[in-house]
Structure 1
């Protein structure tokens, strides 16, 4: 299998059949805060345009960072008190104006009988603060599992979790309203054929994006039921564990663990675009295949190339990337 790399020094994404192509240079940024070392979730603020929430993975205090999406600087840090903070893996902002944080990781093969979701109101003013969130105890109807993906639907407010199992797992729906009293049981509503590390709804609620380390899937959201549309372009990253839509729904942002990591942007096209975006976007007459969209086009979508010369190289790029990932995986905590 041959691989293409476009333009030396450009960002690279893994596309269909192991093809590497440059990204489109969209609205990404780089984390400037040395305290952000294991960004494991990402979500656009609803209250503050251009701001994104993120957090570190387990073995850290339960802190949320509000990051400026242009400079990458942290503009506020929210510390959660009275919570376990055992393995924070995902963040999402609901239509009720609250930030939802998934303490849902389980690196011990589903040995924890329950996990937690925390929620707190988005601050009206961005400043460092210490808050006590609402705490929701969560269990899964078909047994405990590891999970790193949490998404709150922007219209219904219902909370969803995607299990993380090598080879694929399921999408789980919480009760219509979470309760701080007792246990909230999440029911499996669909299969997800991906080793999922994060998920996000589009701002209009019409799309659900799910990513893994090296791939991703986009679903149409139809009356609470996901319908698979196609594969996503996902960049090669150190340890990709975060995905979010930009507030206008036109791009997906991909984040990675590691200090000073770059949040990479990929513009959506064709049927992968949210309905609200597709309705105000004219089809590209010069690219009818891209405008048609909707096909299951492989992990890299339409296999675009950046401007400039491209060179063909062997599958060594993919092999090296996989080898690096395996080394990183081996270094992760048990």
Structure 2
């Protein structure tokens, strides 16, 4: 009976390890590999944000002189699958950044100031990401933003994926600051309601930044390099440099939706989005719906897909071992 027992044991063990740890889409498992933006209307792609609701889709926009438009680009083909026209916001001035917040809310940063910090205020727009990707018009909420220490130029807008708190990094050649907005932005036509305050220094001439999907890492890029930080609830800690590709005019960065890649974009017609491995192996989004939480620490309060898979696999092995042990005892009795 030893040979049949060994064959049964092998079959059961193979079956145990074949049990899927979790239903992970192929796109999430493989990560994004980079693409070229094919839409001739996108000539100054200045911001980039991965959709969580539509796998493989990235939102982008032109820098200026385009109008209130956002473009959804399919990374599999590089083609635009939807153009959104924003209403309720007036005429955009210098749109520089885009970020995904909790509950699939899109935040757009009209925060550039090519005059070197002369605008008395800048704007942030928020709108729901459409469930269906078609050309359509969407009403956005406009927020008037000021800085506690005076006007400045900025190209980096980031929204924490758990708390929804909005941050801006100003653009200074010798390094800038991370600015924290109020816990909740207030729609208002007058300055003074949404005051952003410096909370940390950033050692880079920043052109864009992005949170990892789980909110534990902050990646900041410039024209010729990048730095990543542990978030630590806003008390950022520098961890290392990023492998930023050499591009015509490096303007944007986004984590892929699964956190495994950093996607680097550039301005220009037919611009290329280059994928690089995220530092420290990236981070898995433990909240696929993108809903927020009450903590600003960035901790998920749950296991990642990977760790969940390990636990499930371990339990399967234990169960198989127990079954084999019991089956062997029955054989001995016979």
Give 2:264's aligned residue.
254
* 2:282 is aligned with 1:273: yes
Give 2:168's aligned residue.
161
* 1:104/1:26 CA distance change after superposition, 3 Å: same
Judge conservation of contact 2:32–2:256 (CA < 8 Å) in 1: no
Distance 1:163 1:120 in 2: 23
Give 1:92's aligned residue.
99
1:69 maps to which of 43, 64, 75: 75
Which stretches in structure 1 are left out of the alignment for 5+ residues?
1-24, 282-334
* 2:143 is aligned with 1:133: no
Judge conservation of contact 1:206–1:275 (CA < 8 Å) in 2: no
Give 2:237's aligned residue.
227
Displacement after TM superposition at 1:97 (Å): 1.8
Give 1:116's aligned residue.
123
2:195 maps to which of 173, 185, 198: 185
- Map Cα deviations across residues 40-65 of structure 1 (whole Å, 9 max, x no partner): 00001122111110000012212100
Give 1:101's aligned residue.
108
- Map Cα deviations across residues 74-102 of structure 1 (whole Å, 9 max, x no partner): 00000112422100000001003211000
Displacement after TM superposition at 1:69 (Å): 1.3
Secondary structure of the 1:259 match is coil
Distance 1:105 1:70 in 2: 30
* 1:269/1:105 CA distance change after superposition, 3 Å: closer
Ranges of 4+ aligned residues in structure 1 off by more than 4 Å: 275-279
Judge conservation of contact 1:41–1:91 (CA < 8 Å) in 2: yes
* 1:78/1:169 CA distance change after superposition, 3 Å: same
Judge conservation of contact 2:258–2:283 (CA < 8 Å) in 1: no
* 2:59 is aligned with 1:49: no
What is the alpha-carbon root mean square deviation over aligned residues?
Answer: 1.8
- Map Cα deviations across residues 156-197 of structure 1 (whole Å, 9 max, x no partner): 100010000111110001100101024300010100111100
- Map Cα deviations across residues 94-126 of structure 1 (whole Å, 9 max, x no partner): 003211000000000111000000011000111
Structure with more strand by fraction: 1
TM-score normalised to structure 1 length:
0.74
* 2:150 is aligned with 1:150: no
Judge conservation of contact 1:26–1:266 (CA < 8 Å) in 2: no
Aligned length: 256
Displacement after TM superposition at 1:132 (Å): 2.3
Give 1:81's aligned residue.
87
Judge conservation of contact 1:78–1:130 (CA < 8 Å) in 2: yes
Distance 1:161 1:137 in 2: 13
Secondary structure of the 1:234 match is coil
Judge conservation of contact 2:259–2:284 (CA < 8 Å) in 1: no
Displacement after TM superposition at 1:70 (Å): 1.1
Which stretches in structure 2 are left out of the alignment for 5+ residues?
1-30, 287-302, 308-334
